[in-house]
């Protein structure tokens, strides 16, 4: 059971291994929503995510014999690091089963804490099933990433810190994968102040909690295909579902495209790296009427590899018309390219890539193709550049933008 006494105990214990993550007021998000929006930056934890809380508290409740057998868990990355870090603190062995698609940064950091890492399966659920088999075969103590009330109690210590720092908070938005974080935060928040509204946020393509709440029981999705890899869970925990049913006010769904924009906003306006799963709470803000309300978005983690980061930034810039590509046809004669470049420059566009194809037509005098990728300040600026090209007779045709 999750009780106030256990939450209080956990809150004191996790201070031994957590960094203080004081609330950050976001002027940008506050202006966008009309409320006072604060960020709870759990991406700044030593392991890059909130998971250290639940892992450390859970391991603290185990007997010496359970620890000596060695620990095993399954994780898409953040719980893995939490268990590995906590196990090292307690001086016990940790074996972590991770999906094969887990970002390299999460795999390497888990290994850096001394854990044995096994890559298995395409999603978390596959890894979890295999970890369960290994636990039975080798006698390891299994530490579930979310379907455990002690783990959820540790995660819920976030609510204690939020309410202590902002007693008049109206909304807490929480990313949801398996439901451990949501159940812990919601349960303690309601204990401390029943008026606080707790909102869970899931990826639209991995909405296992929404499905469970709708059906009144755990439902296994056919797939959990989302860029929010930390929350790509096909079935939530049955042990924590009752706490969610009782304490969570609302569930919201976010499309992957919205996470791309949220990543760009976080980097540009707050100078922070937050992984896609951790941005679910931010991306969902626009779905609520928050005028005059005090809102806390839990940023659950920041473990993102550089390649993924680069891809997200590129897609975000294209999505917001800050990078776009056009194709124009022009006669193959001196001076034509200069005229195109001058038209773009006059509208303050910045060319970043140029491809000149003389073989688009058998009649080079009739037409050669020029593919231009350029930077703009946004949609309005892009349209000005397109209008100028059209006015000068170049008849631009939009094409898919690629930077590589």
Tokens of 286: 């626009």
Positions annotated as catalytic residues are 51, 300
In 3D, which of 194, 165, 201 has the Cα closest to residue 38?
165
Long-range contacts of 314-317 (CB under 8 A, 24+ apart): 314/403, 315/260, 316/260, 316/261, 316/263, 316/264, 317/264
User: Can you give the pLDDT at residue 124?
Assistant: 81
Is pLDDT of 196 > 90? Answer: yes
Q: Would you state the pLDDT for residue 362?
A: 53
Say if residue 323 is exposed, middle or buried (CB neighbours under 10 Å; 0-12, 13-18, 19+): buried
pLDDT digits (tens, 9 = 90+) for 351-394: 998 887 766 555 555 578 889 999 999 999 999 999 999 999 88
Q: pLDDT class for 401, splitting at 50, 70, 90?
A: confident
Residue 2 is predicted with a pLDDT of 96
Domains present along the chain, CATH in parentheses: 4-50+148-316 (3.40.50.1100), 53-142 (3.40.50.1100), 321-399 (3.30.70.260)
Q: What pLDDT, on the 0 to 100 scale, is given for residue 288?
A: 98
What backbone torsions phi and psi does residue 390 show, to the nearest 5 degrees? Answer: -65, -45
Contact 167, 195 (CB under 8 A): no
pLDDT, tens digit (0-9, with 9 covering 90-100), for 297-334: 999 999 888 888 888 998 999 999 999 999 998 887 78
Q: What is the pLDDT of residue 343?
A: 93
Work out whether the CA dihedral 273, 98, 112, 92 comes out positive or negative: positive
Length of the chain: 404
Specify whether the CB–CB gap between 163 and 294 falls below 8 A: no
Q: Can you tell me which residue has the tokens 């008849």? A: 395
Task: Provide the CB-side half-sphere exposure for 404 (13 A, CA).
Answer: 4
Average pLDDT, the chain: 93
- Per-residue pLDDT of 34-77, as tens digits, reads 999 999 999 999 999 999 999 999 999 999 999 999 999 998 78
Mind listing the pLDDT tens digit for each residue in 272-301?
Answer: 999 999 999 999 999 999 999 999 999 999
Angle, alpha carbons 324-285-176 (nearest 5°): 100
Positive/negative CA dihedral, 367, 363, 332, 399: positive
- Mean pLDDT over 153-160 rounds to 98
pLDDT for residue 337: 85
Instruction: Average the pLDDT over 216-228 and give the result.
Output: 92
Structure tokens at 294: 């005090």
pLDDT of residue 394: 87
Per-residue pLDDT tens over the stretch 83-117: 999 999 999 999 999 989 887 878 888 999 999 99
Distance of CA 27 to the CA centre of its chain: 21
At residue 229, does pLDDT exceed 80?
A: yes
Closest by Cα among 361, 365, 372 to 327: 372
């Amino acid at each position: 059971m999750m009780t106030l006494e256990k939450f209080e105990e956990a809150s004191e214990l996790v201070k031994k291994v957590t960094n203080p993550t004081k609330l950050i007021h976001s002027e940008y998000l506050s202006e966008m929503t009309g409320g006072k929006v604060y960020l709870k930056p759990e991406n700044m934890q030593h392991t890059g995510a909130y998971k250290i809380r639940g892992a450390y508290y859970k391991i603290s409740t185990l007997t010496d014999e359970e620890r000596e057998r060695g620990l095993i868990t399954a994780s898409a990355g953040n719980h893995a690091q939490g268990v590995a870090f906590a196990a090292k603190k307690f001086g016990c062995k940790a074996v972590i089963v991770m999906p094969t698609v887990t970002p390299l940064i999460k795999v390497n950091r888990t290994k850096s804490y001394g854990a044995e890492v096994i890559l298995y399966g395409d999603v978390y659920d596959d890894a979890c099933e295999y970890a369960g088999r290994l636990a039975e075969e080798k006698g390891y103590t299994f530490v579930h990433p979310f379907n455990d009330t002690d783990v959820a109690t540790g995660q819920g210590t976030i609510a204690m810190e939020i309410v202590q720092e902002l007693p008049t908070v109206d909304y807490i938005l929480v990313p949801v994968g398996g439901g451990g974080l949501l159940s812990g935060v919601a349960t303690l928040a309601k204990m401390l102040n029943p008026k606080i509204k707790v909102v869970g946020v899931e990826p639209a393509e991995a909405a296992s909690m929404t499905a469970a709440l709708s059906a009144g029981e755990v439902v296994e999705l056919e797939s959990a295909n989302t860029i929010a890899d930390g929350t790509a869970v096909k079935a939530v925990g049955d042990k924590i579902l009752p706490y969610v049913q009782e304490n969570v006010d609302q569930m919201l769904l976010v499309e992957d495209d919205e996470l791309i924009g949220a990543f760009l906003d976080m980097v540009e306006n707050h100078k922070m790296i937050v992984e896609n799963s951790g941005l679910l709470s931010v991306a969902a803000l626009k779905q609520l009427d928050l005028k005059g309300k005090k809102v806390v978005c839990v940023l659950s983690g920041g473990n993102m590899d550089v390649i993924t980061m680069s891809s997200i930034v590129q897609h975000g810039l294209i999505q917001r018309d800050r990078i776009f590509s056009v194709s124009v046809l022009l006669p193959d004669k001196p001076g034509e390219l200069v005229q195109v470049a001058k038209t773009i420059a006059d509208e303050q566009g910045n060319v970043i890539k140029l491809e000149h194809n003389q073989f688009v037509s058998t009649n080079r005098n009739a037409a050669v193709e020029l593919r231009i990728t350029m930077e703009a300040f946004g949609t309005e600026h892009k349209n000005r550049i397109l209008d100028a090209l059209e006015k000068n007779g170049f008849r631009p045709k939009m094409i898919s933008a690629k930077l590589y």
